Chains A and B, each alone.
Chain A
Amino acid sequence: GAVVSQHPSWVICKSGTSVKIECRSLDFQATTMFWYRQFPKQSLMLMATSNEGSKATYEQGVEKDKFLINHASLTLSTLTVTSAHPEDSSFYICSARDLGTRAGSYTDTQYFGPGTRLTVL
């Protein structure tokens, strides 16, 4: 299956600092990537949809000035948590949309990265 990488896998930072998380699709081009957060024992919560070359679309309740998303190329999207606070501590997961033809069949699915665990002290 397709591979999506995420870096770093975990990060610990002080309150007030900014943290950047990278998401890369390694073997396909993704015009659309998604950013999720997941709290312990809860389901995925979509934060924003990242479209290559245009502004991200944020879900209701997600502060766009706090969670900066950049999708500069077809294989890379970044999420920057600005002025992080302890309540931002969570598991952040990206996914990349694979839209096109794979192995001779039309496909429209998402492949997830391994996630980034952010702890803000």
Chain B
Amino acid sequence: QKEVEQDPGPLSVPEGAIVSLNCTYSNSAFQYFMWYRQYSRKGPELLMYTYSSGNKEDGRFTAQVDKSSKYISLFIRDSQPSDSATYLCAMTSYQKVTFGIGTKLQVIP
């Protein structure tokens, strides 16, 4: 079993839809949780960073962490074609960072 599971998609949604991206994990030592957005042929860009269970909101993005269920989510409201990218979840324990495989999102105009 992988430490971090993420559905690779692709996920296609119409413009304006609410997008839900998820990752599950098995290592209870993970303490910090991140979401990155990666456009084709570019380095990943940090979108959200959370530590504790609960929700964190930044503009159209909401990151949710449920440590008891070992489940994290990223919600994108009012999705735009420019949101089309691959979204990677990542988790940190001590010095080790583990990434999900990434979910490819396509927002259709």
Which A residues fall within an 8 A CB radius of B?
A: 1, 4, 6, 32, 34, 43-44, 49, 91, 93, 95, 97, 106-115, 117
Shortest beta-carbon distance from A96 to chain B in Å: 11
**Contact-residue size bin, chain B (C-beta under 8 Å from the other chain):** 20 to 34
The listed residue with most A CB atoms (<10 A of its CB), out of B36, B43, B90, B97, is: B43
Q: Are A117 and B41 in contact (CB under 8 A)?
A: yes
A93 to B42, CA, bound (A): 9
Residues of A within 8 A of B101 (CB): 43
Closest residue of A by beta carbon distance from B86: A43
Residues of A within 8 A of B51 (CB): 106
Residues of A within 8 A of B95 (CB): 32, 49, 97
Q: Of residues 29 to 88 in B, which have CB atoms within 8 Å of A's CB atoms? A: 31-32, 34, 36, 41-46, 49, 51, 88
Shortest beta-carbon distance from B8 to chain A in Å: 8
